[in-house]
Structure 1
Amino acid sequence: MDITALKTVLLVQSRGSIAGAARTLEVDPSSVSRTVAAVEADLGIRLFQRTTRRLTVTEEGQTYLSRVAPLIEEMDAAREDVRGRRGKPSGQLRMTCSVAFAHEVIVPLLPAFQAQYQEVSIDLQSSDANLDLVENNIDLALRLAPAPKGDLVSTRLMSTRYRIVASPEYLATIGSVNHPSDLQELNCLRFALPGFQDDWTFRTGAAAPFNVTVTGDLMISNALALHRAAKMGLGVAMLADWLVDRDIQQGNLIALCENFECTATTFETAAWALYLDRTYLPQKVRVMIDFLRQNLRSPAQ
């Protein structure tokens, strides 16, 4: 089987259409269509159901392509290693992540990346909206979430967790907080995202998780602003470890209820790198993913 033909088929799958794959390859759609037909004829199965309006992967096609894609990715990586090309990426890397994650985590790492890969320029689109990679021509998205679902390829970069925090000044006015249930009596700073506004979930050891209903007079849609409000003594907040750990170490914030894990959605959260496909992964994207995996560390690490 021709590896180039398989890459073309995988590109059709990731782009969702023959026309989309053709635009990426800068070839005529009829050429891509002939390649797909030739691979299907060689395998003796139909990989895609095609109509005039849409293209979907068949069950047999999904089974075959899911096994082939990692093999081709490894072959490409091995070839780059042998040729010594992995140290020479170039071009513009368009990536996106949330405003707070860009400010607190990614931007501080960029000088080291650019010193190592001087021929790569970076266009960082910081946005709290999940930008569509195809529509916005994004090479790499960094998302903070449970394990991603959908058609994008994902790589886990680091584990994350939430912590309950308040400023020393605020705690001086309310006394000690001994149990998550104490939060019901406090002014809680709430994140204006679905699931974060009214109920925070806690667990400890093997005990079943339980919810605590929280209230407060301030709701904010931006994590950086919520962080600032907590440091100013406006109330208690639940914020990500990568956003508050430095302040806890410096005494600007105090961690509460540390015997409990907490979340507003799920306890299994992480930072993920998302990209469109394995087989046509540009070298500039590959080295950025490798760099982030090496330099991002969970607090417990």
Structure 2
Amino acid sequence: MNINDLKIVSLVAEQGSFAAASRVLSVDPSSVSRTVAAVEARLGLRLFRRSTRSLSATEEGKIYLSRLRPLLDELDQAQDAAREVSRRPSGTLRLTASVAFAHKCIVPHLSDFQALYPDIALEILPSDANLDLTANAIDLAIRLAPSPSGDLVSTKLMGTVYRVIASPEYLSRSGPLSKPEDLQAHNCLRFALPEFRTRWRFRSGGDAPTDVPVSGNLIIANALSLRQAALNGLGPALLADWLINDDIARGTLVDLFPDTDCTATEFDTAAWALYPSRSYLPSKVRVAIDFLREKLR
């Protein structure tokens, strides 16, 4: 069966008439009619009911056409995927991540990415809200979570660890902070997410996790601002390692419990790359995922 003929049959069904389909194809309506008739003859069944005023699918036609359209789409995607193998990745890549993750983990590597893939135009959409990928035409999202949920396809970029930190200035004037339970007497800096507000979790060695209530008069909805508040000596904060490792190395922040696992949700958390479709992954998205996984590792 000729694929182009099948595409014409599908187009007739979508447009609702031979005339409308012929206008899309810029051909004579009689040519479209002959093509449909030839397909029907080869199939041995009638796909459409014709009259002088209307055209509608027969019962057999509805079944056939409902199965035909996804197959044609799959063929087009297979052709596009095969072509992309032989050419450099190109096009516009729209990527979203949290404001802090974009600032700390993506933007510093953009020059390397552009040197490798000069034909890819990047649109970075930093947002602390989980943007809808379909509604916002987003190709790739980076989400931080114990495990991704929903219908999106996901792949792990890197594991993440949380630490409780404070500035040397704060520690010089604060009360003792030798164990997690001491946090109850301190004005903790808290992230605005519900699970971060009221208690932090700790685990040492093989011991069972311990929940420590936390409180404080400053709640911040952005991790970069929360880090800056900690650097300014306003109190202890619970932050991801990728955001504060450099500060700990420089001594501008102190890891309060280096031998203890810390979290607000689950102890095993990660940065995940999420994208909409499992059946077809454009090369621009594939190379971006591979690039980020290599850089973040």
TM over 0.5: yes
- Structure 1 residue runs without a partner (length 5+): 1-17, 19-29, 41-68
What is residue 167 of structure 1 aligned with on the other side? 167
Deviation at 1:291, TM superposition (A): 0.4
What displacement does 1:79 show? 5.4
1:32 Cα deviation after fit: 11
Instruction: Note if 1:150 corresponds to 2:180.
Output: no
Q: What percentage of residue pairs aligned between the two structures are identical?
A: 55
Change (3 A) 1:33 1:225: farther
- For residues 276 and 135 of structure 1, the distance between their equivalents in structure 2, rounded to whole angstroms, comes to 11
Distance in 2 between residues matched to 1:181 and 1:32, nearest whole Å: 67
Partner of 2:185: 185
What's the secondary structure of 2:206's corresponding residue?
coil
Superposition pairs for residues 82-121 of structure 1, below 5 Å? Answer: 83-85=85-87, 88-121=88-121
2:172 maps to amino acid: A
**Could you say if the C-alpha distance between residues 265 and 77 of structure 1 is closer, same or farther in structure 2, counting changes exceeding 3 Å?**
farther
Deviation at 1:35, TM superposition (A): 6.1
Aligned to 2:67: 37
1:294 aligns with 2:294: yes
1:260 to 2:263 alignment: no
In the superposition, the TM-score normalised over structure 2's length comes to: 0.73
Deviations 1:105-126 (A, max 9, x none): 1100111000100000100111
The Cα shift of 1:243 comes to 0.5
- CA–CA distance in 2 between the matches of 1:275 and 1:33? 31
Q: For the structure 1 residues 111 and 37, does the alpha-carbon distance in structure 2 shift closer, same or farther, using more than 3 Å as the test?
A: same
Separation (CA, whole Å) in 1 of partners of 2:66 and 2:291: 35
Q: Which amino acid in the other structure matches residue 148 of structure 2?
A: P
Cα deviation code 1:134-189 (max 9, x no counterpart) = 00000000001111122110000000010000000000012542110011111110
Q: Which 10-residue stretch deviates more, 170-179 or 209-218?
A: 170-179
1:132 aligns to what SS in structure 2? coil
TM-score by length of 1: 0.72
Where 1:270 maps in the other structure, the secondary structure is strand
The aligned amino acid for 2:190 is R
Contact 2:81 / 2:282 at 8 angstroms: preserved in 1? no
Q: Does the C-alpha gap of structure 1 residues 76 and 154 become closer, same or farther in structure 2, counting only changes over 3 Å? A: farther
Structure 2 counterpart SS, 1:262: strand
Q: Is the 8 A contact 2:81 2:280 kept in 1?
A: no
SS at match of 2:290: helix
What letter corresponds to residue 133 of structure 1 in structure 2?
Answer: L
Instruction: Name the CA distance, whole Å, in 1 between partners of 2:266 and 2:211.
Output: 12
Unaligned runs of 5+ in 2: 1-13, 15-56
Match of 1:224 in 2: 224
Q: Distance in 2 between matches of 1:291 and 1:96?
A: 15
| One-letter code aligned to 1:155 | T
* 8 Å contact from structure 2 (residues 198, 214) kept in 1: yes
Aligned residues: 236
Cα offsets for 1:40-61 (capped at 9, x unmatched): 9xxxxxxxxxxxxxxxxxxxxx
Matched, 1:238 2:268: no
- Tell me: CA distance 1:262–1:140, structure 2 relative to 1, closer, same or farther (3 Å): same
* Secondary structure of the structure 2 residue equivalent to 1:195: helix
**Offset, 1:38:** 5.1
The residue type equivalent to 1:210 in the other structure is T
Kindly indicate whether the alpha-carbon contact (under 8 Å) linking 2:177 and 2:183 is maintained by their aligned counterparts in 1: yes
SS in structure 2 at match of 1:89 = coil
- The one-letter amino acid of 2:67's match is A
Largest Rg, 1 or 2: 2
Q: Distance in 2 between matches of 1:120 and 1:270?
A: 27
Residue 24 of structure 2 corresponds to none
Show the counterpart of 1:213.
Answer: 213
Q: Residue 222 and residue 36 in structure 1: after superposition, are their counterparts in 2 closer, same or farther (change >3 A)?
A: same
Question: Partner letter of residue 169 of structure 1?
Answer: E
CA distance in 2, matches of 1:131, 1:150: 13
